[in-house]
Amino acid sequence: MQPTFIEILRRALDEELARDPAVHLLGEDVAAGGAFGVTRGLAQKHGSTRVRNTPISEAAITGLATGAALCGLKPVLEIMFIDFATLSMDCLVNQTAKYRFMSGGQLRVPLVVRTQAGAAGGAAAQHSQSLEAWFIHVPGLVVVAPSTPAEAYGLMKSAIRLGEPVLFIEHKRLYTMKEELAEGAELPPIGRARIARAGTDVTVIAYSAMVHSALAAAQTLQEDGVSAEVIDLRTLLPLDMPTIAASVSKTHRALVAHEAVRNGGVGAEIAARIGAELFDELDAPVLRVGCGFAPIPFAPELERALLPGSADIVRAARKIMGLAG
C-alpha cells in the first residue's frame, strides 16, 4: 500500500533523528503526534528530549529553536498553522534570518520551521491562509513548499542538512495524498525547481498543491492542442530563475499559479523578473492565477468560489495563447 504524505514526511523526520543526534523536534503537541499526526510515535522511539512538546508560545519557541541552532542543535520546529507564524515573525525576521549576516558569518542557524498552510474545507479565515509571500521578502530565509509526498521526503531531508533557516510549508490538502517512494533516490537540492511536465507552448509555474491543479489544467489544454510545461518551484526563496528562464525561452509564454492572493504575491515577483530579464523572449504578458482578494470564508460554497483551481489556469493559458474563452 502506498504511504501518505504524512507517513512519508514522518519517515523523513524519523530517519534524520536517527542519523544525526543534533536533530531535535519541538513544537506544540509534537510529542503527542502533532495536530495532523506527522510526528506520531517519534517521541516514543527517539525519547522525549529529542521530540518535545512546548507551551503555546510561538514567539518563545521560535527564539528557543533559533538560540539552540546557534549552539549546535539542528531543531525542527513545528508552527502548527502558518497563520500562527505571525506570532513568530519578530524572531524569524529580525533574528533568525539575519544572524549569519549580522555576525559577519560567525554564526549560522541550521533550523527548519515546519508549518502547514492552505485551505482544505471549513478551516476558515485564521487556519487556511497562504502567507508564503511575507517570507520571500526576507534576505537570509529559505522557503520551501513541496508538492508531493516523495518531494516532501527529499526536501525535508535536504532542508535539515542545509545549515540555513528554512521555512518548510506543507499544504494540508496534500496530507492524504499517496505516493510510492523510490528507495535510494538522490535527495532534491534546495533552490532547484523541477519540470513536473514537459511542454512547448506555455509555461505554468506553480508550487505546493497548485502543482496538481496545473497538471490537471495541462491535461485539459492538451485536448485543445496546447502543450503546457509545468514547473514545480519547490523552493520559493531563493528562486530558481535559471530553470524558469530555460522554460520561458522555449515556450515564450508564462503564467504563475498559486493559492495565495495575487497582490504582492510570489507570482508578482516571478512575473516582474520574467518581464525584466526575459522581455525579448515573451510573446504575451505574464499572467497570474491566485486567490480572490478576500479572507478565506467558512461556508463551503464561499470557499469554493474564492479559491483558484485548474479551470482558472486553463482560462489564463487560453488567454495567453490567444484562444477564445
Closest separation between CB of residue 224 and another protein, Å? 34
Cell numbers for 206: 506553480
Q: Is 254 near another protein (CB under 8 A)? A: no
262 within 8 A of 288, measured Cβ to Cβ: yes
Among all residues, which ones are annotated catalytic? 58, 127
The set of cell numbers assigned to 97 is 534570518
Measured from the CB of residue 275, what is the shortest distance to another protein in angstroms? Answer: 15
Task: Give the contact letters, 165-204, x = binds to another protein (CB under 8 A), - = no.
Answer: ------------------------xxxx------------
Q: Which stretch binds another protein (CB under 8 A): 103-111, 116-124, 199-207, 224-232?
A: 103-111
Cα separation of 258 and 202, whole Å?
A: 16
* DSSP output for 58-97: HHHHHHHHHHHHHTT-EEEEEESSGGGGGGGHIIIIIIIT
Burial of 12 (0-12, 13-18, 19+ CB in 10 A): buried
Nearest-approach distance from CB 85 to another protein, in angstroms: 15
**Cβ closest to another protein, residue 279 vs residue 293:** 279
With contact defined as beta carbons under 8 Å apart, do 199 and 180 qualify? no
Q: Is there a contact between 273 and 302 (Cβ–Cβ < 8 Å)?
A: no
How far is 235 from 3, CA to CA, in rounded Å? 24
39: DSSP letter: T
Residue 57 engages another protein in binding (rule: CB under 8 A): yes
Segment interacting with another protein, rule: CB under 8 A, options 173-181, 205-213, 239-247, 303-311:
239-247
Q: If you count them, how many residues does the chain have?
A: 325
Q: Binding mask 59-88 vs another protein (x if CB under 8 A, - otherwise)?
A: xxxxxxxxxxxxxxx-x-------------
- Least distance to another protein, CB of residue 108, Å: 6
- Residue 286 interacting with another protein (CB under 8 A): no
Give residues in contact with another protein (CB under 8 A): 24, 49, 54-55, 57, 59-73, 75, 90-91, 94-95, 99-108, 139-140, 142, 162-164, 189-192, 238-242
